[in-house]
Amino acid sequence: MSVSGMSVSGMSVPGMREIAYLTLDVFTSQRFGGNPLAVVPDARGLDTAAMQIIAREFNYSETTFVLPPRDGANTAEVRIFTPRAELPFAGHPNVGTGYAVAAMGSLFGRAAGEVLRFEEKAGLVAVRVRREAGHVAGAELTAPVGLTRGRTLAPDAAAACLGLAASEIVTASHQPEVDSVGLPFLCVELAGRDGLTKAAPRAGLFARDLLPIGTDAIMLYVHDRERGPGALRARMFSPLHGIVEEPATGSAGAALAALLADLEPAREGQWRYPIIQGEEMGRPSLLEATVQKRNGAVAETRIGGACAPVMRGTLTLDI
């Protein structure tokens, strides 16, 4: 198997095994922006413990491991790991893995199509390839499940988790609320960019206040009306997963976009939300979310963006 000219050499050293990997930056067209992702495009032979150790070694917010699909009608099984745990679904790993598979051109002896179907713990995730001038430029995922609106958290408690004053939390449209289209986040609106800049997570309060309501992460945002209709600026904190902050979070952006569309009074329509994230980390990212409503409910949530390849190499493992 080859990955853009990179080959898996197998048993090249007695007692050792080499496995190809690649890294890319997701939700950006510029290297060293966006959210880094490591992809192991042929993870056959790796068990769960090995995948977790490898993810810890990369120490990116997520690493993906690609396996043959259980159902031949699908493209692959994709497993997603943070440095501490496996996730049922995540956004930038799907966009980045979709980009990587499309750039490879084939996977497990089959040509990669324009719509990839990934089997994941949360369900089947469809990823559509984006091309520019005939070249793979990025990808867009469709969330595997519909919007779930969960429990709320008092504004003063949400503010404390972020090191902010309660007055900086906006509740005119919604309370701080757990929302999910595959992975749950507490969505919190702030009054202005000053609060967005100042926010600093307090892990102890995340454990005390967020875990009991069904999440361990906060997606905080402000409306960026100067940029245009629907534009948002956001940050995402998940210190209990070993991710103090992530520069681009597709699953959180999708959940937030689905919530905002659900709050719209119109029962039918399509809404677009460009989301700027990562600027406070020096890794600017652009996530493009689209939500479709039918009969008064969110029917489909998509989120996508560009990708930039960064590294290729091999993992050396003891057999």
pLDDT tens, per residue, the chain with 319 residues: 333 333 334 445 567 889 999 999 999 999 999 999 999 999 999 999 999 999 999 999 999 999 999 999 999 999 999 999 999 999 999 999 999 999 999 999 999 999 999 999 999 999 999 999 999 999 999 999 999 999 999 999 999 999 999 999 999 999 999 999 999 999 999 999 999 999 999 999 999 999 999 999 999 999 999 999 999 999 999 999 888 999 999 999 999 999 999 999 999 999 999 999 999 999 999 999 999 999 999 999 999 999 999 999 999 998 6
Query: In this structure, which amino acid lies at residue 92?
Result: H
> Could you tell me if 174 and 231 lie in one domain?
yes
DSSP H helix total and E strand total for the chain: 6, 22
User: Same domain, yes or no, for 53 and 7?
Assistant: yes
Q: What is the CATH number of the domain that holds 55?
A: 3.10.310.10
- Give the total number of structural domains in the chain: 2
Note the pLDDT of residue 8.
38
Number of other residues whose CB lies within 10 A of the CB of residue 226: 6
Query: Is the domain of 170 the same as that of 50?
Result: no
Residue 140 and residue 205 in one domain: no
34: left (phi over 0), alpha (psi -120 to 50) or beta: left
Inter-residue contact 39 to 20 (CB < 8 Å):
no
Do 175 and 42 belong to one domain?
A: no
State whether 204 and 191 are in the same domain.
yes
Q: Which residues contact 98 (CB under 8 A, 6 or more apart)?
A: 116, 118, 127, 128, 129, 139, 141
Looking at the annotation, which residues are catalytic?
62
Kindly compute the dihedral angle of the four CA atoms of residues 24, 200, 177, 240, in this order, to the nearest 10 degrees.
60
Residues 167, 300 within the same domain? yes
What is the pLDDT, as a whole number, of residue 11? Answer: 41
Phi/psi at 249 (nearest 5 deg)? -130, 95
Do residue 79 and residue 198 come from a single domain? no
Instruction: Please give the Cα distance from 57 to 177 (Å, whole number).
Output: 33
- Domain with 290 in it: 148-304
